[in-house]
Amino acid sequence: MGTKSEPVLIRDAVADDIPAMVELLAQLFSIEQDFVPDAEKQGRGLALLLVQPGAQVLVAEREGGVVGMISVQTLISTAEGGAVGLVEDLVVGEGHRGEGIGGRLLRGMEARASEMGLSRLQLLADSDNAPALDFYTRRGWRRTSLLALRRNS
């Protein structure tokens, strides 16, 4: 487990990071109502994200290990008349929470989105995950009137 005195590097994810990111997603999905941890599926999805044009994945690295991650995917918004980003999978490992790593990942992705020319970022969060909702609100994110719906094909 790291301490606040150990430096954290925010960098682009690479294929070698996938196993650690799968572990992080297992932690995230274990507290989300709509998702179930599945290492094979999450590994496959991460591999696709890493090569997808318009997608970005950042990781937080401490002492050579990945301790956090965030991703964004580009979408086209007719309301905005251009590209926007869907932020997904912001997660910091259990032993590293409360140290500002999540905020650094989010700021890093916000800066990256600006560089990409994205006019808006949006994300989904569990409606009953008060700590996550508070985290985003404190950082200037606001709730919308939109409600997420889903249908498997």
Instruction: Check which CATH number belongs to the domain holding 123 and give it.
Output: 3.40.630.30
Residue at 3 is within a domain: no
Count how many domains the chain has: 1
Q: Tell me if 100 is assigned to some domain.
A: yes
Q: Is residue 42 part of a domain?
A: yes
Residue 79 lies in a domain: yes
Report long-range pairs for 18-21 (Cβ below 8 Å, ≥24 apart).
18/43, 18/46, 18/47, 18/50, 19/43, 20/59, 20/65, 20/66, 21/46, 21/57, 21/59, 21/66, 21/69
For residue 147, being part of any structural domain is answered with no
Domain that holds residue 37: 9-138
Residue 70: predicted pLDDT: 98
Q: Say what the pLDDT of residue 3 is.
A: 58
Predicted local distance difference test score (pLDDT) of residue 4: 66
**69 located within any domain:** yes
| Residue 68 maps to a domain | yes
Tens of pLDDT along the chain (153 residues)?
Answer: 555 678 999 999 999 999 999 999 999 998 887 888 999 999 999 999 999 999 999 999 999 999 999 999 999 999 999 999 999 999 999 999 999 999 999 999 999 999 999 999 999 998 888 999 999 999 999 999 998 898 998
Q: Is 55 part of any domain?
A: yes
